[in-house]
Amino acid sequence: MGKLELVRSYNATAHLYDDRYKDEQMPKISFLLDKIRPKEGDILLDVGCGTGLLFERANCRLIVGVDISINMLREAKKRAAAESKQKSDGKIKDVELILADAEFLPIRSESVDVVVSITALQLSGDQESAVSEVLRVLKDQGSFGIGIIKKAKIPNVLPKGTEIHNVEVLRDIFCVGKKDVNKGKSDCCERSE
């Protein structure tokens, strides 16, 4: 499926996404957030944020959601508004939404503490470019968690030391690691089954 068809499909079905996929996506979100443990003061980037399901679980200073579908972002905007109203501690979670392609993130290099992408990057035209963009915007020693459907190829551009988790009950393979400018890219990653 090309990008134009992908955008059309997600724009047409955005209002149904949570009904169809929330029960599948929330365990993936929980798994990755438990692995990378973002801090309250972090800037977190959610690449392929969809309807903003991650907003319910992440507690960061700023969450930036990027998606290629305007209607998915409209749903995410509704969720972000509801989240800010429901906070009982008086803290309003700051959420910014950006319409963009994962292969061309309009975000300054080395400006983000944590990047999460769940079941999205394999949909890009060039998954390697999308992962390179994730690493470009991530600060040195910043954490990333990427979920990729199991039938997709694991990107070759992941940093050395990236852990690969294949959780049987979840439909994704998870790539978890840190950006370390002192380490190069590796031909293989550490597998954790």
Whole-model pTM: value is: 0.88
- Give the C-alpha separation, 10 to 76, whole Å: 13
- Give the C-alpha separation, 17 to 155, whole Å: 26
Cα-only R_g, the chain? 16
Q: CATH number of the domain at 42, please.
A: 3.40.50.150
Total domains present in the chain? 1
- pLDDT tens-digit profile of 67-119? 999 999 999 999 988 876 655 554 556 899 999 999 999 999 999 999 999 99
* Best CA proximity match to 3, nearest among 85, 163, 83, 120: 120
Helix (H, G, I), strand (E, B) or coil at 19: helix
pLDDT of residue 185 exceeding 70, the answer is: no
Range of 171's domain?
3-192
DSSP category for residue 150: T
Task: Find the range with the poorest average confidence among 14-28, 106-120, 130-144, 146-160.
Answer: 146-160
